[in-house]
Amino acid sequence: MTLNLLPGQTPLSDLETIWRQGVNPELSRDAKPDVEAAAELVRQAAAGEEAVYGVNTGFGKLASLKIAAKDTEALQRNLILSHCCGVGDPLDRATTRLMMALKLLSLGRGASGVPWSTIEMIEALLERGVTPVVPGQGSVGASGDLAPLAHMAAVMIGAGEAEFDGAIMPATEALAKAGLAPITLGPKEGLALINGTQFSTACALVGLWGAWDNLRAALVTGALSTDAIMGSTAPLVDEIHTLRGHAGQIEFARAQRALLEGSDIRESHRDGDTRVQDPYCIRCQPQVVGATMDLLRFAARSLEIEANAVTDNPLVLVGEGRILSGGNFHAEPVGFAADQIAVALSEIGAIAQRRIALMVDPSLSFDLPPFLTPEPGLNSGLMIAEVTTAALMSENKHLANPCTTDSTPTSANQEDHVSMAAHAARRLMRMNDNLSGILGVEALCAVQGIEFRSPLQTSKPLQQAMAALRTKVATLSDDRFLAPDIARASAMIQNGELVAGLALPTLEAQQ
C-alpha cells in the first residue's frame, strides 16, 4: 500500500498511518516542478563565482572557506561522512521510516534545492524496505538533527549500515539486495538532507500518539477505579465543567460519565453514603486529565505544522531567484511540544498512581480488603504492584523536567543556542512505557476491586473492558508471580485492547 503525501498539507492522521501500519509514502508528483526549479537555481549558483553557503563553501564555522567547483561533490560526501557521529541504541524501524517520510515532505516543498532523483531515492528505500540504522543520540536540535540525519543520508550514498529483510548489514550490501545503487550528491544536497528537524519531530510524534493512547486508557481505568471505590459521579455533571469552559475538561467529563452510565454499583450508594466528597484523584479527573487533553492537542497542532515545514538551510527562494541563510533548522517548537507532552504524561501517571494507592488502602477504599486480596495477611495481594507504580511515577516526574531550558554552545560557538529537542522527544517513549505500566496496574486493581462488589455490576462499557482484561489476566486469589500479569495488562494499554470498541475522544476532535 502506498500513501500519497502533499507537501505542506499532510495531516497527522496520514503520518500516523505510515508509522502504525508501515505503508509506503510517496510525494505527490505535483511537487516535482517546484523541486526541480529549486535544484536548477542551485546548479546555477554552483557554477558561479559568488560564494553561496552550503553550495560552494564550508559549513558552520568554516562557511567563509570557498570550495572549488570541481570539489563540490566531494564536499557533500565529506559532509555526510563527517557528521555520522551518532551513538546509542538505534531508532526503531517504524520511527526511522516516519523520519524519512518527514524528510520527503520537507524536500517536497521546493525550497531545498535537491533534484527529484534524490526524493525518488528516499521513496525507493522506503518502498523496498531498506531502513538506515540511525543511532538515537547525538543531536542537540540545532543546526537540525545533524548526526541522526547524516546516518540516514549515508545509506543513500552507500555508507553506514541499514536493516534489510530483518538483518543489519553494510549499506552497500543492503542496497544491492534491494536492487538499488548509491547516488552521488550534487551541490547542497548533503546539507539539505541533514539540516532539518525530522528526527526530533518523528520521535515527538511517536511520543504524542503514545500519550494519546495512554490518555484514552486512563479515562477507562479511572472510571473503573471510581466504581471500585464506590465513588460519586456527581463531579461529572456537565454544568460543573461548562461553567469553567476548558474543552478537554468538558469532553473528558462527558466521556467518563457515559462510561459509568447504568452502573449498579453507583446506584447502590447514591443515597445514604456518609462520604461527602471523594479524594481529588477521583473527583478531579476531568480537571487534571482533561487539561492534558488540551495540552496534547496543542502539541499536536505544533507538530503538524513542523511536519509540513521546510527546516533546512540555506533556503532556495525560486520566486526571488535567491538562496538565503536562515534558522528554520532550530527545533525549539519541537522541543516545546515534547516538553508539553512530557508534562502531560507525568500528570496522567501521577493522578492514576494515587487512585491505585486509594484502592489498596482499606482505610480509604470503602470496605475493599487490604491490598485487594481475599485473604490478607497470608497473601500480600497487589501491595508491591502499587509500589512499582510509585517508582514509575517518580521516574516520569524526573523525566518531565523541561529539556528546552538547557542549551550549550557547539561548533566553535557558531551554534551558540540549541533546542535539545532530540532527547526531549526521545525520552517520551520511555515515559509512555512507564505510564502504560502504571495504568496496567490500575486496571488490575480496579477490576479486582469491582469484582469484590459482586453481585453488584458496573456499567456495560466497563464490563466490556473488564472482560477484555480477564482474557489475559485471571482474578488474583492466592499470591502468585505477578510480573507477567503486569506485563500483559500494560501491553493491553499500549495496543489498545483494553479500550477496544469503547466510545472515546480522538486526538483530532478539537483541532
pLDDT digits (tens, 9 = 90+) for 149-194: 999 999 999 999 999 999 999 999 999 999 999 999 999 999 999 9
pLDDT band at 386 (very low <50, low <70, confident <90, very high): very high
Phi and psi (nearest 5°) for 178?
-85, 0
How is 217-273 classified by DSSP, letter by letter? HHHHHHHHHHHHTT--SGGG-HHHHHHH--HHHHHHHHHHHHHHTT-HHHHHTSSS-
Options 14, 15, 26, 53, the catalytic residue: 53
Query: Distances from the Cα of 1 to the Cαs of 4, 40, 376, in angstroms?
Result: 10, 32, 55
Report which of 177, 26, 143, 168 is spatially closest to residue 92, judged by C-alpha positions: 168
pLDDT at 510 over 60: no
Average of per-residue pLDDT values in the chain: 95
pLDDT for 105: 98
pLDDT band at 60 (very low <50, low <70, confident <90, very high): low
Quick count: other Cβ atoms within 10 Å of Cβ 15? 26
HSE at residue 470, side-chain half, CA atoms within 13 A, is 13
Distance in angstroms (rounded) separating the CA atoms of residues 140 and 498: 37
pLDDT at 61 over 80: no
Helix 483-495 vs helix 421-451: crossing angle, to nearest 10: 110
In the chain, the percentage of residues whose pLDDT exceeds 90 is 89
pLDDT band at 511 (very low <50, low <70, confident <90, very high): very low
Active site (annotated) includes residue 280: no
**Average pLDDT value for residue range 39-47:** 91
**Average pLDDT value for residue range 274-296:** 94
pLDDT for 509: 63
Residue found under cell 499470591 = 479
Distance in angstroms (rounded) separating the CA atoms of residues 80 and 230: 61
Judge contact between 214 and 436, C-beta under 8 A. Answer: yes
Judge contact between 100 and 134, C-beta under 8 A. Answer: no
Distance in angstroms (rounded) separating the CA atoms of residues 298 and 246: 13
**Average pLDDT value for residue range 39-45:** 93
Contacts of 75 (CB under 8 A, 6+ apart): 56, 58, 67, 190
For the whole model, what pTM was predicted? 0.96
pLDDT band at 63 (very low <50, low <70, confident <90, very high): low
Report which of 114, 64, 113, 53 is spatially closest to residue 326, judged by C-alpha positions: 53
pLDDT for 500: 98
pLDDT for 299: 98
pLDDT at 228 over 80: yes
Judge contact between 5 and 25, C-beta under 8 A. Answer: yes
> Highest mean pLDDT: which of 38-52, 112-126, 265-279, 398-412?
112-126
Query: And the C-alpha cell for 76?
Result: 557533500
Query: Distances from the Cα of 374 to the Cαs of 51, 355, 359, 365, 476, in angstroms?
Result: 79, 20, 14, 14, 9
pLDDT for 351: 98
107-125 in b/e burial notation, b at 16+ Cβ within 10 A?
bbbbbbbbbbebbebbbbb
